[in-house]
């Protein structure tokens, strides 16, 4: 039996075993469904499990659990990524991409232990972020990428139809516009979606577009970076290690309604037409931020990159606002 405390209604549940793990299906009461349709983000449920023996039967109730509801809202552009214990760096990533026009973030949580759903409640309540629990481990002797590939297709099938564009990249990768388009977006004269549509028309590139992904080094240990909350990532990481390998880990913005499946986060499958190998001259590129000294000896730094300086002040302010919302200052009476 499935008991819903908010509506005080009990419905019959059905247990199936499609795999070694049981699958429980509960009928959602109409009043609970109506509340969800009106914007409610979760419902609570308690399971009443019946045990039978020759003498009698008993019911054992479980502790009520909160179940998050995934609202399938339409967005012009969103980002998919898979995360594990990323709370110390994800706010910089979310706020920067919101600044350049990203409307939503689908975060596939693979066994995090940092209470990310509590930490990001501010975004969850505003429908800026959707967190999908993805508690899977790879089969023995198989690479963990199979877990990521499965999540890439899950987001494609479940949320792709509600998005015109969808980015597929990691939380240490930032999409950087070239100078001309950066100014257009920051001034409000255009949007990222409009730029993508103009530069890579659907009639020519129905699958989407692939961009170079260039490494930027932080020249700090990971612990030092994560502890320096007074600086955002554009201040902490601005060193270019030469030569930059921008070509092996390219990432994508796709048109999900035209992509039947995803096997590789770096490129679309054969037969799906997309625009490959684009850089700053063709709109933008990804910046892949490395922790630690990557490819350099000692404190050697080949050159500095201040091309993201226009975002520092606004990004710092937005990050500060998030933390104030998360931990408001006590009121003085």
Sole residue written with tokens 């933390």: 323
Tokens of residue 262, six digits = 């995803």
| pLDDT at residue 21 tops 90 | no
CA torsion, ordered 35, 257, 127, 13, to nearest 10 deg: 40
* Pairwise CA distance, residues 88 & 90, whole Å: 6
Lowest mean pLDDT among 9-13, 73-77, 135-139, 145-149: 135-139
pLDDT band at 333 (very low <50, low <70, confident <90, very high): very low
* Pairwise CA distance, residues 289 & 222, whole Å: 11
Average pLDDT over residues 1-16: 87
Identify the pLDDT of residue 37: 81
Q: Enumerate residues 6+ apart whose C-beta is below 8 A from 147.
A: 82, 110, 134, 136, 137, 138
Q: Among residues of the chain, what percentage have pLDDT more than 70?
A: 83
| pLDDT at residue 100 tops 70 | yes
Sole residue written with tokens 């987001």: 155
Q: Enumerate residues 6+ apart whose C-beta is below 8 A from 174.
A: 93, 96, 97, 233, 286, 287, 289, 308
Q: Which element (helix H / strand E) includes 15? A: strand 13-16
Identify the pLDDT of residue 137: 85
pLDDT band at 55 (very low <50, low <70, confident <90, very high): low
What length is written for the chain?
A: 333
Identify the pLDDT of residue 136: 87
Nearest to 100 by CA among 226, 283, 262, 229: 283
Average pLDDT over residues 316-324: 89
DSSP 30-56: HHHHHHHHTT--EEEEEEEEEEE-SS-
Backbone Cα Rg of the chain: 23
Identify the pLDDT of residue 65: 81
Q: What's the whole-number average pLDDT of the chain?
A: 86
Nearest to 312 by CA among 239, 237, 215, 233: 233
Lowest mean pLDDT among 178-182, 228-232, 291-295: 291-295
Average pLDDT over residues 268-292: 91
Identify the pLDDT of residue 167: 98
- Chosen CATH of 75-326 out of 3.30.870, 3.90.550, 1.10.3470, 3.40.50: 3.90.550
Q: Indicate the domain borders of the chain.
A: 2-68, 75-326
Identify the pLDDT of residue 297: 47
Identify the pLDDT of residue 219: 67
Identify the pLDDT of residue 59: 56
Average pLDDT over residues 152-179: 96
pLDDT band at 26 (very low <50, low <70, confident <90, very high): confident
Identify the pLDDT of residue 294: 46
Average pLDDT over residues 202-215: 96
Average pLDDT over residues 282-292: 87
């Amino acid at each position: 039996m499935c008991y819903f405390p908010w509506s005080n209604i009990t419905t019959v549940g059905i247990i199936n075993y499609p795999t070694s793990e049981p699958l429980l299906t509960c009928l959602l009461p109409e009043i609970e469904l109506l509340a969800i349709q009106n914007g409610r983000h979760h419902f609570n449920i308690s399971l009443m499990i019946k045990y039978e023996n020759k003498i009698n039967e008993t019911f054992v109730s479980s502790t009520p659990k909160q179940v998050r509801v995934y609202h399938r809202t339409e967005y012009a552009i969103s980002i998919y990524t898979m995360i594990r214990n990323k709370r110390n760096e994800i706010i910089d990533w979310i706020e920067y991409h919101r600044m350049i026009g990203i409307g939503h973030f689908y975060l596939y949580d693979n066994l995090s232990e940092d209470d990310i759903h509590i930490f990001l409640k501010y975004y969850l309540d505003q429908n800026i972020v959707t967190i999908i629990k993805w508690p899977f481990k790879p089969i023995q002797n198989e690479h963990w990428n199979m877990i990521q590939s499965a999540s890439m297709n899950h987001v494609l099938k479940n949320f792709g139809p509600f998005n015109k564009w969808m980015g597929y990249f990691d939380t240490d990768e930032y999409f950087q516009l070239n100078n001309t388009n950066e100014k257009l977006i920051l001034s409000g004269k255009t949007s990222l979606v409009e730029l993508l549509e103009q530069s890579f028309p659907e009639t020519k590139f129905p699958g989407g577009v692939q961009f170079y992904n260039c490494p930027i080094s932080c020249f700090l240990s990971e612990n030092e970076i994560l502890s320096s909350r007074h600086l955002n990532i554009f201040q902490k990481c601005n060193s270019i290690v030469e030569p930059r390998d921008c070509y092996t880990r390219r990432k994508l913005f796709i048109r999900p309604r035209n992509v039947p499946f995803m096997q590789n986060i770096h490129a679309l499958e054969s037969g799906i037409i997309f625009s490959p190998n684009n850089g700053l001259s063709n709109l933008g590129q990804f910046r892949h931020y490395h922790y630690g000294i990557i490819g350099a000896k000692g404190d050697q730094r080949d050159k500095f990159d201040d091309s993201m300086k226009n975002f520092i002040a606004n990004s710092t302010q937005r990050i500060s606002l998030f933390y104030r919302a998360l931990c408001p200052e006590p009121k003085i009476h």
